[in-house]
Amino acid sequence: MRPPTEVEVLIVGAGPGGSMTALRLAEAGREVLLVEKRPEIGNPVRCAEALETEVLHRVIGELDPSWIASPVYGARGLAPDGREVRYIADEPVGMVLNRRLFDRGLAARAAAAGAAVLTRVRAFAPRREGNGWRVCLRYDGESVELRCRLLLAADGVEGGLSRALGLVKPWPKAELHSCAQARVVGLEPEEKPLIDFHLGSEAAPGGYGWRFPTGGDRANVGLCVHPPEVGRGAARELLARLLERRFPEARAVELAAGSIPALKRPRRIVDDGLLVVGDAAGHSEPLSGGGIANALQGAELAARIAAEALESGDLSRRGLEAYEREWSAGVGRSLRRYAKLRRFYLSLGDRDFNDALRLLDEQLERWRAGKKGTVLSLLTAVMKGSPRLLLKARHLL
Ligand SMILES: Cc1cc2nc3c(=O)[nH]c(=O)nc-3n(C[C@H](O)[C@H](O)[C@H](O)COP(=O)(O)OP(=O)(O)OC[C@H]3O[C@@H](n4cnc5c(N)ncnc54)[C@H](O)[C@@H]3O)c2cc1C
């Protein structure tokens, strides 16, 4: 379908950030066009698809059961020395999504609320014109120019549009996770599925390896690494090794690679007539690289501020800056803490991971024996047990 030449709000990118913003703005009665450059929303999946259940329910409300690939009952840590530490809860503590269906479902909800959704449409060359924007849209080998009052860049880590606007600079290597992942079959199913974290320099230098269950004998097996510590293409080679050594029974079905922002400090996410959402804004959590929940929360906030600004008619940077302010005081605050934690994590060597998992195991043994405390008391006990860890953690205080 040919894109229109004028719309009130243009949202670029139909990932969780873009679709959620489109949904909320359409519900607020605004005229919204959501464009996605790929032929199919949610495909290919470049994500391990795990997240906490609570945020998803809080932001989205009712979930479609088909979006959930597997519940998660806890986690298993694997140290470089082979030690395995498990925590298993009685009830699910998280989930692994089916992003293909989730992304598609969220965009469908936005369309049902009144947003126009177009795939195979790439937005580029945005320029300010009067009080709005003129943006080129490429579809079916043709280009049209579209005028909009408000532009929302939700174009992910590639962020070509945000970069063309000069607001978001290319990510420095040190502020990225470089990832590779395989969808695999043939694993032993678990009655209470856990997510695995493989730690240490052999598994994933400056990052971690994962196995996230996706139902039955299937899982996402992947890893992220800290790019300055490895050469180009290292993530794929390390993935092949992880699969061979730790999951010899697994058979890979699909491979994917990608990056996740891991910002040291926040960036500008607002300008005249412009808001940046999700990975494009660098909103993924810097330690784990989890970005789905933050993209959804940022979208919810951006949509509220945008709806208010559209109502008042003030779409200037000043009129929109509540988005940056409220983000910074809320989720942004925890991201700053996680950025410090990443610095600490990057200072750890294999000996530290071995110590940390041994101490964690001892503390969890006390929990299992009935002496359950808070997560904070658990971590404090782990730190106190290793002077070397404590020394490395000093800048967290
Ligand atoms: C290997 C890997 C594993 C991950 N695992 C997890 C995990 O387990 N849990 C978690 O929470 N997070 C995970 N993440 C991060 C998560 O995938 C992202 O944080 C999340 O997808 C961000 O959502 P978003 O809407 O901001 O961007 P995206 O989901 O990237 O969506 C952006 C969309 O914009 C489109 N687009 C880009 N440019 C244009 C343009 N010019 N015109 C039109 N469309 C455009 C893209 O095609 C894309 O569909 C992982 C990431 C990777 C790479």
Residue 93 has pLDDT above 80, yes or no: yes
Mean per-residue pLDDT for 323-343?
A: 95
pLDDT of residue 162: 78
Average pLDDT of the chain to the nearest whole number: 94
Query: Residue 123: what residue type?
Result: A
d(CA 25, CA 88): 39
At the second CATH level, the architecture of 6-46+100-171+265-340 is 3-Layer(bba) Sandwich (3.50)
Distance between Cα 46 and ligand 1 center (Å): 7
Residue 28, both tokens: 């607020």
Residue 372 pLDDT exceeds 90: no
Ligand 1 center–CA 41 separation, angstroms:
11
For residue 352, pLDDT over 90 is answered with yes
Give the mean model confidence (pLDDT) for residues 5-31.
98
HEC profile of the chain: CCCCCEEEEEEECCCHHHHHHHHHHHHCCCCEEEECCCCCCCCCCCCCCEEEHHHHHHHHCCCCHHHEEEEECEEEEECCCCCEEEEECCCCCEEEECHHHHHHHHHHHHHHCCCEEECCCEEEEEEEECCEEEEEEEECCEEEEEEEEEEEECCCCCCHHHHHCCCCCCCCHHHEEEEEEEEEECCCCCCCCCEEEECCCCCCCCCEEEEEECCCCCEEEEEEECHHHCCCCHHHHHHHHHHHHHCCCCEEEEEEEEEEECCCCCCCCEECCEEECHHHHCCCCCCCCCCHHHHHHHHHHHHHHHHHHHHHCCCCHHHHCHHHHHHHHCHHHHHHHHHHHHHHHHCCCHHHHHHHHHHHHHHHHHHHCCCCCCHHHHHHHHHHCCHHHHHHCHHHC
Report the distance separating Cα 314 and Cα 2, nearest Å: 30
381 Cβ contact list (under 8 Å, min separation 6)? 359, 363
| 49 backbone dihedrals φ, ψ, rounded to 5° | 75, 10
- Whether the per-residue pLDDT at 375 is higher than 80: the answer is no
Regarding the beta carbon of 175 and ligand 1, being less than 6 Å apart is answered no
Torsion on CA atoms 203, 205, 206, 210, rounded to nearest 10: -20
* pLDDT at 53 (0 to 100): 87
What pLDDT shows up at residue 168?
A: 67
Of 268, 266, 284, which is closest to residue 276 (Cα–Cα)?
A: 268
Split at pLDDT 50, 70, 90, the class of 373 is confident
Could you tell me the pLDDT band of residue 161, with boundaries at 50, 70 and 90?
A: confident
Query: Measuring from atom 19 of ligand 1, which residue has the nearest CA?
Result: 291
Q: Which of the four pLDDT bands, split at 50, 70 and 90, describes residue 291? A: very high
Nearest to 222 by CA among 204, 201, 205: 204
**Burial per residue of 247-275, b for 16 or more beta-carbon CB atoms within 10 angstroms, e otherwise:** beebebeeebebbbbbbeebbebbbebbb
In angstroms, the CA 200 to CA 80 distance is 5
**Does 394 score more than 70 pLDDT?**
yes
* pLDDT band at 88; cut points 50, 70, 90: very high
CA angle, 334 then 220 then 349, to 5°: 55
Contact 98, 378 (CB under 8 A): no
Contact (CB, 8 A) for 106 and 18? no
Domain boundaries, the chain: 6-46+100-171+265-340, 68-95+173-261, 347-396
For the segment 179-183, the average pLDDT, to the nearest whole number, is: 97
pLDDT of the residue at 386: 83
**Domain 68-95+173-261: top CATH class:** alpha beta
pLDDT at site 397: 65
Examine the pLDDT at 102 and tell me if it is beyond 70.
yes
Using CA atoms, how far apart are residues 176 and 258, in angstroms rounded to an integer? Answer: 10
pLDDT digits (tens, 9 = 90+) for 228-247: 999 888 999 999 999 999 99
**Contact criterion met (CB below 8 Å) for 56 and 296:** yes
The reply to whether ligand 1 has any atom less than 6 angstroms from the CB of 261 is no
Percent of the chain with pLDDT over 70: 99
Q: What distance in angstroms lies between residue 104's CA and the mean position of ligand 1's atoms?
A: 13
Look at residue 78 and tell me whether its pLDDT is greater than 80: yes
How large is the average pLDDT for residues 199-206? 96
- Whether the CB of 279 sits within 6 Å of ligand 1: yes
Q: Is the pLDDT of residue 396 over 80?
A: no
Is residue 50 in contact with ligand 1, taking CB distance under 6 Å? Answer: yes
For ligand 1, atom 42, the nearest C-alpha belongs to 122
Alpha carbon distance 126, 254 (integer Å): 35
Assess whether pLDDT exceeds 80 at residue 116: yes
At residue 160, the pLDDT reads 82
75: which residues sit within 8 A by CB, 6+ positions away? 86, 87, 194, 195, 196, 197
Rounded distance from Cα 294 to ligand 1 centre (Å): 11
The Cα-based distances of 207 to 75, 83, 138, 157, 192 in angstroms read 16, 18, 37, 18, 26
Decide: 385 and 359 in contact? Cβ < 8 Å: yes
What pLDDT was estimated at residue 1? 78
Q: Is the CB of 122 under 6 A from ligand 1?
A: yes
- Whole-number pLDDT of residue 76: 97
Find out whether the beta carbon of 260 lies less than 6 Å from any atom of ligand 1: yes
